[in-house]
Structure 1
Amino acid sequence: MPAPARPDDGDGAAVLRHLAIIMDGNGRWAARNRLPRLAGHRAGVEALRRVVEAAPRLGIEVLTLYAFSSENWKRPAEEVSDLMGLLRHYIRSEVKSLNENGVRLDFIGNWQALKPDLVSLIEEARALTGGNTRLTMVMALNYGGQDEIVRAARALAADAAAGRIDPAAIDVAALAGRLDTAGLPPPDVVLRTSGEMRLSNFLLWQAAYAEIVVTETLWPDFNAAHLMAVLDEFGKRERRFGGR
C-alpha cells in the first residue's frame, strides 16, 4: 500500500486539512470555577463556536469533534439528559448561522439510535447544510471507534457472504470505505485538551498516522490563539508515514 498523500502549501510544508478534537475538560472547568457541570458543558459550546469561526481562516477544511461517545451513556442520567438537551439547543440555534457561513454539518457514530426528535434535527441539519464547502464540521455522536470498525467489518462480511465481493479482495481501502468517515481525508492532527494522554476510542482507524497534540488547556478556555498554537506545533512535526 502506498503512503498516504502529504499535502503541502507549495513550499514543502504540511498543511493541516483535517483537525480532530477530543473536547475534554468541561467538568474540571466547572469544578475549578465552582459551577455545576452543566455550566462547563455550556462554556464548552462557546469554545466550539470560537473554533468553528477560526478554523476556515486558518486553512482547516474538516473539523471532527468528539461530542458524545458510546461510553458516555455510563454517566449519571441527569448529566446525559443535560448533554442531549444542550445538543438539541445547539443544532436548533446554530444551524442557520452555520449554513450562512458555508459550514457543512455532518455526523458519525450510531446517531440514528438517538431519540427520534434528535434524529430528525440531525437529518434536517444535514440536508440544509449538505451543499456547503467552506468547512465540514463532523460531530461524533454515540460514537466509538471500535464499534465503527466492527460495523464496517460486518458490512463487508455480509457482502462477502452474499457473493457481492470476493473476500480476498478486501483490503485497507475496502474497509476504510465502509467507515463512517468514508470520503473524508484522514485527520492530520488529533488534539486533546485538558492534558489527558489517551484517544478514548476516538477515530482509532483514521488516526493511524495522525499527529497527536495534547494541551493542558481545558476545552471551555480554548480559543483561536490556542488553535493557532496547534497549527504551529503541527508545522514542526516531520511526518514520515512509516518511511524514513
Structure 2
Amino acid sequence: MPPTTVADLLVLLAREPGRPRLTWYGDGGERVELSGAVLGNWVSKTTNLLVEEFDAGPGTRVALDLPGHWRTVVWALAVWRAGACVAAPGAAGADVVVTDSPADASGADQVVAVALPALARRFPDDLPPGAIDAASAVMTYGDAIGWTQPVDPASPALEGGAPRSHADLLSGPAPTAQRVLAAARPRTETAAFLLDVLAVLAGDGSVVLTSPETTAALASDAPRRDRLVASERITAEG
C-alpha cells in the first residue's frame, strides 16, 4: 500500500536504509547523496527542532524561503511530519521563516537561517537578533522524532499554486518506483517542486536533483549528461 501520511512515507524510506533516495548535483561540482536512513535522520532532527523551538504543529505556518534544493525537501518533510503547513516564500503572517537570506527576513519574529552548502557548519554571515543558525542547531537534536502533536488531516499542509491539506498531500496516484532526474525549480515554484519530489518518494522511487547551473551545463554537454544518466542509473525524467 502506498503511504498516506508523511510518517508512513518515512517508514517506507527506512525499509531500505542504504538505498539512495535524494541525490543533489549542485554548483561547482557539489554532489550530495542521501540514503533512506540519512534522509530520515535529517528529517527527524529538523522535526524535533521545529517542535521544540517553535511548538510547530497543526495550524503553524512555516514559510520556506529557499530555492529548489535538497535542504528544501528536508525542511518540507519535517514541517509536514510535525503536522504544520509549508507556506510560500514571503507569505504574510508566517509563524516561522526558514531562509537562506535571513537579512531579508529581519521583520519576522522567528527566523531560521539555512546555509545551503553541504559542508557548512555555520551560517557564513551575521544573523538578525534571535535567528537560529540551522547549520549548527539541527545537529544538536535527537535522531528519533520525539513528541509531536497529532496530525490533523483537515489542516493545511501546503500553500501556493497547488494548496493541499494533510489528508490529500499524498492522495495522488503513486508512480512506479523509478530513479528520476529532475531540475530543481526556483523558489517561486516551491509548491510544485515539493509535490513532484514527494510523488516520486511516495512511489518508492528516488530523485536526482540538479541545480540551475548544473542543469544548464548538462543541456549544453550531451556526453556529460549521458555519463550522469548512466552513473546514476536514471530511469525517468521529471
TM-score over 0.5 for the pair:
no
Higher relative contact order (CA 8 A, sep 6+): 1
Instruction: Looking at secondary structure, tell me which structure has more strand per residue.
Output: 2
Give the greater-gyration-radius structure (CA). 1
Please give the range of the TM-score, normalised by the shorter of the 2 chains.
under 0.3
Q: Taking structure 2 as the reference length, what is the TM-score of the superposition?
A: 0.25
Instruction: Looking at secondary structure, tell me which structure has more helix per residue.
Output: 1
Q: Taking structure 1 as the reference length, what is the TM-score of the superposition?
A: 0.24
